[in-house]
């Protein structure tokens, strides 16, 4: 790396006593995994690339839609239909050619999560999905990695740093809420999403520079409409002693030995039936002939909530959020 070019690029950052030349080198030598390239992931990735994080990997299976553009402002109208991970990676490369950018246009799955987490220093959860956050949490907890998770609906959100030296996400949220909205059903304000995303990026830098002010073991609750911000310390939260471990599988990983459980409404099931599946409301009494239970819906959240309630630990529990036919 050309030091004169580096000093010129990051000069307004390295002059800060909180960063300096040594801190900048630490950022240049670090790696960050970002799960989700939407309203949270794309701004966070852009500012982390600008700050000189040496390696950034973006994981997202989704494509850009018109309704994304009001808050996912790093995409353009001509990008509609293209993969978010690829478009965002191209933008990051044009912003900073000095760093390594990886785009992975797939879902986070039980089959790829361990390798992805192991290859990075800090993990950002920007997916806003129950199954994803719990899978990331369990993996980060097992491999001693910091997990920075954020979520927002409407104008209210939260941000927290979990795992490694902090309690895990499960210690604060043992199970997901029974009724939870999302951007599709409740809406979200673009600047509020962007603001929370930049807070995530800020926490990454503070963690890497070992700032004592990083939100380790703390939950920042935000209300951008009321301009209210409160912090809750959860460092004394006990880890749950028992919980259902629920994996995520891709459509192509499902086999005939799996029991497919449809968690959609009766109307959805009638309009788009899935072969060889049973309704979550009509589970067979004998499931001993199956190797796994695979719950599915559209987004994965209803499937995850249904799987959490299943108390039989003899069969592995998985969810699939892809459209099945």
Quote the tokens at residue 287: 């499931």
Is 53:99 a contact under the CB 8 Å cutoff? Answer: yes
Compute CA distances 145 → 97, 115, 117, 303, whole Å: 27, 13, 8, 27
Q: Is the dihedral of CA 198, 204, 209, 213 positive or negative?
A: positive
Interatomic CA distance for residues 63 and 78, integer angstroms: 12
Angle, CA 168 vertex, CA 208 and CA 240 arms, to 5°: 165
Give exposure, 124-151, as e/b (b: 16+ Cβ within 10 Å). bbbbbbbbbbbbbbbbbbeeebbbbbbb
Tell me which of 183, 263, 297, 320 is the catalytic residue.
Answer: 183
| Integer Rg of the chain from CA | 20
**Torsional sign, CA 172, 174, 179, 183:** positive
Classify each residue of 18-28 as buried b or exposed e, where b means 16 or more C-beta atoms within 10 Å of its C-beta.
Answer: ebeeebbbbbb
Which residues, at least 6 apart from 227, have a Cβ–Cβ distance to it below 8 Å?
none
Bridge partners for 262 per DSSP: 279, 296
Tell me whether residue 163 is one of the annotated catalytic residues. no
> What are the catalytic residues?
183
């Amino acid at each position: 790396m050309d030091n004169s070019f580096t000093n010129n690029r990051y000069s307004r950052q390295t002059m800060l006593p909180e960063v300096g030349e040594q801190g900048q080198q630490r950022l240049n030598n670090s790696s960050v995994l970002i799960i989700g390239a939407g309203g949270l992931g794309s701004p966070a990735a852009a500012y982390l690339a600008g700050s000189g994080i040496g390696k950034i990997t973006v994981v997202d299976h989704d494509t850009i839609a018109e309704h994304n553009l009001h808050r996912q402002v790093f995409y353009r109208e001509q990008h509609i239909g293209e993969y978010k991970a690829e478009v965002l990676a191209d933008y990051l490369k044009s912003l900073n050619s000095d760093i390594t950018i990886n785009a992975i246009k797939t879902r986070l799955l039980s089959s790829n999560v361990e390798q992805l987490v192991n290859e990075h220093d800090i993990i950002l959860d920007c997916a806003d999905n129950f199954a994803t956050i719990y899978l990331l949490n369990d993996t980060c907890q097992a491999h001693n990695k910091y997990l920075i998770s954020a979520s927002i609906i409407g104008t209210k959100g939260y941000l927290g740093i979990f795992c490694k030296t902090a309690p895990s996400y499960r210690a604060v949220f043992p199970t997901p809420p029974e009724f939870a909205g999302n951007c599709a059903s409740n809406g979200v304000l673009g600047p509020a999403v962007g603001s929370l995303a930049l807070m995530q990026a800020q926490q990454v830098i503070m963690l890497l520079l070992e700032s004592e002010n990083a939100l380790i073991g703390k939950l920042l609750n935000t209300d951008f409409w009321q301009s209210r911000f409160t912090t809750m310390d959860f460092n004394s939260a006990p880890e749950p002693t028992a919980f259902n471990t629920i994996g995520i599988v891709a459509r192509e990983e499902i086999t005939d030995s799996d029991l497919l459980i449809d968690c959609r409404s009766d109307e959805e099931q009638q309009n788009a039936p899935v072969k060889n599946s049973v309704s979550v409301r009509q589970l067979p009494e004998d499931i001993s002939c199956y190797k796994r239970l695979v719950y599915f819906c559209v987004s994965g959240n209803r499937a995850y909530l249904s799987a959490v309630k299943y108390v039989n630990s003899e069969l592995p529990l998985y969810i699939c959020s892809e459209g099945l036919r």
